[in-house]
Amino acid sequence: MNSQTKTIVITTVVTVIALVVGFILLMPVFGPRFMHPIMSRYMHGNSNSVVSNDLDTSAERLTNNGTFNVSFKSELDPITIGSMHSWVLHVETADGQPVERATIFVDGGMPEHGHGLPTAPQVTQDLGNGDYLVEGLKFQMGGWWEVKFNITADGTEDNVTFNLIVGG
């Protein structure tokens, strides 16, 4: 083989290796979004069995800094895929006193897929006695969802995350 052929072969091999290595390295960055439509069925089947063992899916949890004890009741039980519905969120102090006039923001998504909620749920009513109406919740696919609440009352802010397995 002459030197020109050698150069072409080496260049080709190096380019292919660079592309393969680059693709593998970038998978964690682009993987969840890129693969979502193609792989979602496989990932959901997979994620259900993986996360259900040690995931805390209780409907009552203490906020991250222990400020509030928060629980929810879903209008839909069990929660079905793709159904718009509401929750009633109940907020208490750590020692059980209802927290009224709180400011609450809702966020969430699917941690394993790197996407957020398909809707923008909001607290639309302070029902009194520490109860708040959360409207506009929807989970458009089965699997592990997180629903997060940012709660501020009497100048103290804290956060809580609920885990849901939608669609069993």
Q: Give the whole-angstrom CA distance, residue 138 versus residue 121.
A: 8
Q: In what order do the strands lie in the sheet with 122-128?
A: 60-62, 68-74, 85-93, 131-137, 122-128
Q: Considering the complex, what minimum distance in angstroms separates the CB of residue 34 from Cu ion?
A: 13
Q: Considering the complex, what minimum distance in angstroms separates the CB of residue 141 from Cu ion?
A: 5
Q: Give the whole-angstrom CA distance, residue 40 versus residue 80.
A: 17
Binding site for Cu ion (CB under 5 A): 110, 113, 141
Q: Considering the complex, what minimum distance in angstroms separates the CB of residue 110 from Cu ion?
A: 4
Q: Give the whole-angstrom CA distance, residue 165 versus residue 52.
A: 8
**Given the complex with Cu ion, which of 151 and 164 has the nearer CB atom?**
164
**Given the complex with Cu ion, which of 121 and 130 has the nearer CB atom?**
121
Q: Considering the complex, what minimum distance in angstroms separates the CB of residue 147 from Cu ion?
A: 14
Q: Give the whole-angstrom CA distance, residue 163 versus residue 161.
A: 7
Q: How far is CA 128 from CA 6, 53, 58, 89, in A?
A: 79, 36, 23, 11
**Given the complex with Cu ion, which of 112 and 126 has the nearer CB atom?**
112
**Given the complex with Cu ion, which of 39 and 88 has the nearer CB atom?**
39
